[in-house]
Amino acid sequence: MLRTVDTTLDSCLVDQMPRFGESAVVPLAVLLRTGSENGRFNAALGLDRLRDQAVAATQALESALDDSSSSVRWAVLGSLESIQPRSPSLTLKLLRQLDREQSTSATLYDEALIRAIAHMGGLPPEALPILDHALRHLPNGYSLSVQELIETIGRVDTPERVVLLARLIGDKDPVRAWYATVAIGRSGSLALPVLLFYRLAGLAGHLISVESQ
């Protein structure tokens, strides 16, 4: 009973704290670090509601990405997306987490992690094998995670992304082939040899029109 009361109190406190704006950031950050699992979860949600007022809690949120609870990590990712610090260190941390979280099917946390990485903008070359590995672990067919991963591969800052996208164009899954086609069509001159190959082979005649968009 006491645990239920404590959990309810945590939830009520977090619901009220965003009303105080930036002055609520420090108490929420402390709760995120020291609270119960439910308290940490609610603290992350509270910081999410504060959005850009919670920028000062970015470091606390990044640390909470290592929380033992996947529910807390999921809420933390949502908060970071709302605040959008987009620092290189955060990008690398998210990529390392994705590399560790591989499974045969995407969990809610995996999906949130993929979405957060997709929103990070340009990615360093070391992201490419991690994204490729993550994509291989997802089932064929459409899912938002598949779409976001392939689109994100197209934004990795290395010419090698074109090689990977070219391989995906030949994938037996038409969904992956389609998104790879769109992504490679946005790669500019780097994609020309691939575009010409598929055009001459008659395998993807629509590529030229995509590339010109």
Give the model confidence (pLDDT) of 148-174 as tens digits. Answer: 999 999 999 888 998 899 889 888 999
pLDDT at 213: 47
pLDDT level of residue 105 (50, 70, 90 thresholds): low
* Residue 13 pLDDT level (bands cut at 50, 70, 90): low
**CATH number of 1-85: 3.90.1690, 1.10.10, 1.25.10, 2.40.128?**
1.25.10
Q: What's the pTM value of the predicted model, to 2 decimals? A: 0.73
Q: What is the largest CA-CA distance in the chain?
A: 71
Mutual orientation of helices 192-201 and 174-185 as an angle, nearest 10°?
A: 130
Q: Which residue has the higher pLDDT, 16 or 154?
A: 154
Which residue did the predictor score with more confidence, 187 or 72? 72
How large is the average pLDDT for residues 64-91?
86
User: Mean pLDDT throughout 126-136?
Assistant: 93
The pLDDT of residue 198 is: 59
